Structure 1
Amino acid sequence: MTQSSPFTQARPELTRRRFLGAVGIGASALAATPLLSGCATGEVVPQQAPVVDDAVLPRFVPVEYATPDIPSVNGSIPGYTSWPTEVVRAVPTPPGDGRTIKAMTPLWGTIPSADGNQYYEAVNELIGSKVEFQITDGNVYGDKLATVLASPRDVPDWVSVPGWNFPPRFGSEIVGNVFADLTPFLSGDKVTKYPHLANIPTDSWKMCVFNGKLYGLPYPDSIVRDAIFYRDDLMDELGITVSISSAEDLLELAQEVTDPSANRWGAEDMWNAAAQIFGVPPKWAMVDGTLVNRVETEEYRAALDWTTRVFASGAVHPDAVAGQTGEAKQRFQAGRSLIMPDGVGGWHEALRDNLANNPTYSQTPFPPFPADGGEIVYWKSPGAGMFSFIKKTDDTAMIEQILAAADVLAAPFGTLEYQTVNYGVEGVHWERGSKGTPELTDLAAKELQPTYIFLADPPVVESKVQYPGYVEAMTGWMAEVSEHLQEPPFYGMQITPPAQYASIDQPFTDLEADIPRGRKTLADLDEAIETWRSSGGEELRAFHQDLLDQQ
C-alpha cells in the first residue's frame, strides 16, 4: 500500500508478489494441487455470472475531510503535502452495542499482546465493540485459513482473506456457504447508511462480487502496484544522466554501471520489470479477436528473451543469478545493485529504513517508457487484492454491527478514526514531530501492528510528508502512469475456474526463472505451451471464452 503508516511492517504493497517476495516465498510454494497431466475429470464447471450487475454494487458517494494538495488524475493516488493540525471525528457516537466481534487476520510482523493493549482499547472505543483478534503469521496464513474454512462452525465473525490465499472452490462453493451475502445491506443506496464504505471506489467493490452477489469488504488498491526503481543518488555520483526510452536503453544502463571490482552490479532479477516494460498481460488478452493466455503472447516471449539477455550481459548481481532474490532489497539499498523492480510501497519503506543513517539516500522509479519505441502499456491493477468477509448468520444485528465497525475503520485521511487506526493515541503511541507528522513512541513498537486495516480500510492516499519531495514524486509518477492504463479482459470480475486447473500455470513460473538463467531455452517455452494446451489449457480458454460470450 501507499497510505501513510508508522508500522515497521505496516501497509506493505498488498500484492501476492510483494508479500511473498518480502518473506522469501517463491510462487512455487503456492500450488494447491499437483499439475494434472490431463483435465478430463468430469467435474461440473460452476456456473458464474459473466459480468457484475450494477444493481448489486454499492453506490459510490465520495466523502472528503481534508482536501488533497495534489488531486487524483485518472484514478491515481491523491497527495497531501502537509499533516492536518486538527482532525475531524467522523463518527461522533460509537456505533457498536458493546458486543465482542471475533476477527481473524494475517500479520507480517510481531504479533502484539492484547493484554492491556492501549491501541486496541482506543480503536475499540471508537467502534463501540470489542474486536478480539485471532492473528496468524502471514507466511502460513493460507494454511490456517484453509483449515478454518473447512469447518464452518469454527469460522470467526469477521475474516480477512487475501486474494492469493483463496482456497480451491472458494468462489464457486465456499464463499456462499460460509459467509454472509451483503447485497441486502450494501447494494445501491443501502450503503449510504455507512458513508465511509460508500466512499470506496466501485472498482474495489466489483472484486467483492461472487456469483452475482456481494460478499466481501475490499481493501482498496492503487491503479498500479509495481514500478522499476533505480538509485538516482548513486547514478548522480557516477556522473550518469538517466534517460531511458526503450528496453535496450535500460539494458545498456545496467551494463554501464556494472563494476564487479567495486562490488556494484546494474540490476537485480529483472523478470517482473520485463513483464511491465513489454506489457505482458496479467492473465488473458484479446489478440486479433482471439482470447489468448499471457504465455502465448508475443509480449511474454519478448520479455523472457530480453530478461535472458540482461542475465547474459553480466549486469545482474551474482546472488540474484543464484536465485537469492529474497535479499534483493538489501543489496539494492546498500548500493550493490542499482536497478530493481518492486512494489510501489517499497519506495517509502526504503526511505524509512535508510534516511536516518544515509541522509542522501534516494531511489526513484523510471518514468513510463515503451519496450521498443512503440506504445506504452500499463495493465490496470484490480481495485482490491485483499478482502474481509462476515460469517453467515441469522443474527442480522451482528452483521450490521460489523458493517458499522467497518465504516469506522474506513474513515479516510483527516479524521480521528484514520489517525487512531494508523498511529494510535497522541501522547501515548506518538508525538507530533517538527513537520507535524506523528513520531512513534517506544510503546507503539510493542502495541501497534496492522490488524484493523485488514478488516476495512479507506481509499489509498499519499501523505508521507516526513520524506522531503516524496509525496510530489510518487503522485506525479502515478499520474504519468495513469495516461497509459489499459484494462485486461475480465477486469473487475472474480472468476473461479474449475479446481483441476489450479496448478496448470506452475511450469511457466519455473520457466520465468530458468530461461533467463540459461537452464532452459525458448524452445522449452514452446514445449510448455503445447503441454499446457493439451493438458487443459484449451478447456480453460473455452471456460473463459464462454464468460466473454455471455457479456
Structure 2
Amino acid sequence: MRQNQPRKTLSPSRRSFFGLLGAGAGAAALTSCGDSSSGDSSAASGSSEYLPTYKELEIVEPDYPAVNGSTPGFLTIPAELQETYPDPIGDGSEATAMVPLWSAIPDLSGNSYIDALRAKTGYDFAFQMTEGSSYGDKLATVLASPDNVPDWVAMPAWNIRSNFHQAIEGVFQDLSPYLGGDAVLDYPHLANLPTSSWQFSSFGQKLYGLPKPGGVVTNALFTRGDLLDEMGITPEITDGQELIDLAVELTDAKTNRWGANDLGVLAYLIFHVPEKWKLDDSGELINRVETEEFKQALDWLKKLFDSGAVHPDAVAGNVAAAKQRFESGNVLLTVDGLGGWAEAYNRQRPSNPEYRQDAVKWFSGDGGDPWVYVNRPAEMVTFIKRTDDEEKIKNFLRVADLLASPFGTTEYQLIERGVEGEHFTLADSGEEMPTELGQSEVITTFRSLCAPPQTNAIVSMPDYVEAFCTWQADAAKNAVEPPLHGVQIAEPPQLAQLSQPFSDLQADVPRGRQSLADVDAAVEEWRKNGGEELRALYQEALDSGNY
C-alpha cells in the first residue's frame, strides 16, 4: 500500500544521513555496506552537536559508483596502497574485546592473522567470542556485571534493545567530547563514516558507540540461477502472486525439490512493513503491527505456505539449514542478506564452478512501485568501557580509526585478507587469492569492532561484484526513509516488550496456527497495555526533535 508514503528517496548528496526526519518521511537483517562535503551534519531537527562532522574520504575511484547510498564496487586492487598507520598505536598491553561469530568458535592461539593485527594496533587483543545466535544472552549476562565488562563490546544492531539507555551510562564511555563535531577530524577514517550510523550509535544525545555502517538495502530474494537455466526458466517477478506461482512451478516433491524456504523476511519488505513506525495522512505515527501492510504480509505468507511450495523443514521452523537447502538445490528460492552471497560462492564454487545465485530485481508485493524502506544505518555498534584514562580512550579511538581504514589502504587489506604471501597471494591480474592458511585463520573479530563504509572489493569474483553492486544500486533508487530513521529512543521498561506477542503471530499465522483475527485482537491488547503511551513517546520525539 503506497498511499501514506511520500516519494522520498536518498539523494547522493545526503548519503551520509538519510534525512533523519525529513519533512514527513515514511527490516531486519538476517544472521549472516555526491556533494557530500557538507556531510549533512545538521540534518536532524534536534540538537546534533554530539554527532561527528562528516568528511568524505575516497582513496580509489570505484568501478561501480554508489547510487543513492548503495555499495560501491571495485574490480582491481590498486598497484600502490596507502599506509596510514605505519607505527603501532598501543604499547603491547592487553585489550579485551567481546564479539559475535556466525561460525564455529576457533582457537586463536598461534593464529598468525590475529597476531599480525595485534602487532599493527599495538594491543594484545584478547577476544571473547560467542556464537551469534546466542550472543544476546551472553550480552545480558556480561552487562549484569559491569565490573567484568570487556574494554570493547560489539553489539549487532538487533541486539540493541529499546531500554538499552538504562544500562549504558556508567558502563560505557561517552565519546561525544572526543568525536563530536570537528573533534572527529583528528580521526579521518571515522569522519568518513555516514552521519546516520553515528546517530544510530547515540543515546540520549550522547555518542556512545563506534558503528559498523550498513548497506541501504541488505536483503534480497535469490534464485538458483544455474539450475533455473537448466530448466529453461527465466523468472520475471513483479508482484507477490507471481512469486508464489513460480515457487509452485519449481516444486517437485518426488525429487525432493521445493520452490522456497520461509520467505518471511522478504514478505515484510515487499509489502512495505516499517521496522517500527510509519506516518498516516494526518502525520500521526502508526506502529508496524497496526498497519494494513503487516496483515498483508502475513496473509501473503499464509498463501505461500498453503501452496505446498515451502520445504517441509522450513515449515517446521528449521532456519539453521536454510542456506544448505538452497545451496544443495533442494530449494530454489530463498531470502538472505547480501553478505551471504559471497559466502555461498566461497563454499560452492571450488567444487561447482557453475554455481550461481541471482538476486531478483526488486518488486512490491501488490505490483505497485518497487520501493523499499532503507535498512538500519549500522549493522553493529561497538562500545568502549568507561575509564578515567583519557590517553587510553584516545588510543582506542586511533585503533578504531585504523579499523575504519577504507579500500585502497594497507590497513584495509590486512584486516580483510591478512598478510600477503601468508594469508593471500596477489596474482598478476590483481586478484587476491586466499591461501589455505588464510582460509582457516582470517576471521571477522577485528572487523566487528569498527569498519569503513561498505564496499565490495572481492576482485576474484568480478561477476559477483557486478551483480551485487548493480542490483543494490537499482534497489536503492527507490529507497524510502521511515520516520525517526536510525534514532534510538529510550522506552520505559514496562513498554519495551509490548511487541513480543507478535513474534509468535509472525510464525503462527503463515502456518495456520493463528489467524488474522488473532492479529487484530493482539493489536487491541497492544494499544490497551501501553501502545498508546508508546506512540505518544515517539510522537513527542518526532515533533520536538528531542532524542
Whether the TM-score (by the shorter chain) exceeds 0.5 is yes
Secondary structure of the 2:380 match is: strand
Query: More deviation in 83-92 or 68-77?
Result: 83-92
Alignment correspondent of 1:277: 270
**Partner residue of 2:35?**
none
Structure 1 residue runs without a partner (length 5+): 1-14, 23-49
Matching of residues 155-234 of structure 1 within 5 Å: 155-166=149-160, 169-171=163-165, 173-234=166-227
- Which range moves more in the overlay, 305-314 or 501-510? 501-510
Alpha-carbon separation, structure 2, partners of 1:236 and 1:169: 49
Partner-residue secondary structure (3-state), 1:177: coil
Q: Flag the 1:270–1:117 CA change in 2: closer, same or farther, 3 A.
A: closer
Aligned to 2:155, the other structure's residue is in SS state strand
The residue that corresponds to 2:124 in the other structure is 130
Greater mean alpha carbon deviation, residues 413-422 or residues 104-113: 104-113
Distance between the aligned counterparts of 1:513 and 1:148, measured in 2?
Answer: 30
2:13 alignment counterpart:
none
Task: Determine the structure 2 residue equivalent to 1:381.
Answer: 375
Displacement of 1:418 in angstroms is 0.9
1:76 aligns with 2:70: yes
The DSSP-based 3-state class of the residue aligned with 2:170 is helix
**Contact kept? 1:204, 1:220, Cα under 8 Å:** yes
CA distance in 1, matches of 2:197, 2:402: 18
Give the match's secondary structure for 2:261.
coil
Kept in 2, the 8 Å contact 1:52–1:209? The answer is: no
Distance in 2 of aligned mates of 1:523 and 1:419: 54
Compared with structure 1, are the counterparts of its residues 146 and 322 closer, same or farther at alpha carbon in structure 2 (3 Å cutoff)? closer
Deviation at 1:189, TM superposition (A): 1.1
Cα drift, residue 458 of structure 1: 0.9
Does 2:132 match 1:120?
no
| Letter of the 2:333 counterpart | I
Partner in structure 2 of residue 243 of structure 1 = 236
Alignment check: 8 A CA contact 1:291 1:545 kept: yes
Q: Is the 8 A contact 2:99 2:448 kept in 1?
A: yes
Letter of the 1:211 counterpart: G
CA distance in 1, matches of 2:97, 2:448: 10
Aligned to 2:30: 18
What's 2:258 paired with? 265
Distance in 1 (CA, whole Å) between partners of 2:366 and 2:482 is 21
Query: In 1, Cα distance between the equivalents of 2:366 and 2:262?
Result: 20
CA distance in 2: counterparts of 1:144 and 1:182, whole angstroms = 24
In the superposition, relative to structure 1, how do residues 52 and 114 fare at CA in structure 2: closer, same or farther (>3 Å)?
farther
Counterpart of 2:63 in structure 1: which amino acid?
D
Residue 285 (structure 1) shift: 0.8
Other structure's SS at 2:244 match:
helix
Q: Whole-Å Cα distance in 2 between the matches of residues 508 and 213 of structure 1?
A: 31
The structural deviation recorded for 1:376 is 2.3
**How much does 1:246 deviate?**
1.5
Judged with a 3 Å threshold, the aligned counterparts in structure 2 of structure 1 residues 144 and 318 are, in CA distance, closer, same or farther, namely: closer
Once the two structures are TM-superposed, the CA of residue 71 in structure 1 deviates from its matched residue by: 0.8
Out of 527, 530, 536, which is 1:533 matched to? 527
Q: TM-score, normalised by structure 1?
A: 0.87
| Corresponding residue for residue 550 of structure 1 | 544
Give the superposed CA RMSD: 2.0
Please give the alpha-carbon distance, in whole angstroms, between the structure 2 residues aligned to 1:241 and 1:147: 50
State the shift of 1:17 in Å.
4.6
Give a deviation string over 1:147-181, Cα, whole Å, max 9, x none. 2222222222222122333367321x221211111
Q: Residue by residue, what CA displacement relative to the aligned partner does 1:34-87 show, whole Å, maximum 9, x if unpaired?
A: xxxxxxxxxxxxxxxx96533211111122222211111111000001233432
Which residues in structure 2 correspond to 1:210-359 (within 5 Å)?
Answer: 210-289=203-282, 290-359=284-353
Distance 2:297 2:237 in 1: 17
Query: For the Cα contact (< 8 Å) 2:75–2:462, is it kept in 1?
Result: no
2:471 pairs with one of 474, 477, 501? 477
The aligned counterpart of 1:109 is 103
Deviation per CA, 1:14-46: give whole Å up to 9, x if none.
x97522xx6xxxxxxxxxxxxxxxxxxxxxxxx
- Residue from 512, 515, 518 that aligns with 2:512: 518
Query: Contact between 2:46 and 2:544, CA under 8 Å: does it hold in 1?
Result: no
CA distance in 1, matches of 2:62, 2:149: 40
Q: Tell whether the 8 Å contact from 1:52 to 1:493 is kept in structure 2 after alignment.
A: no
Q: Matched residues in 1 for 2:50 and 2:225: separation?
A: 47
Work out which of the residue numbers 430, 435, 438 in structure 2 matches 1:441: 435
Give the conservation status (yes or no) of the 8 Å contact 1:101–1:402. no
**Native 8 Å contact 1:347 1:364 kept in 2:** no
CA deviations over 1:285-312 (Å, ceiling 9, x no partner): 1122221111111111111111111111
State the SS of the aligned residue for 1:18: coil
Aligned to 1:421: 415
- Structure 2: any 5+ residue segments left out of the alignment? 1-26, 33-43
- 1:338 deviates by 1.2
Look up the SS of the partner of 2:129 in the other structure.
Answer: strand
Q: Does 1:94 align with 2:88?
A: yes
Give a deviation string over 1:377-433, Cα, whole Å, max 9, x none. 211112113111111111100100100111111111111111111222112222234
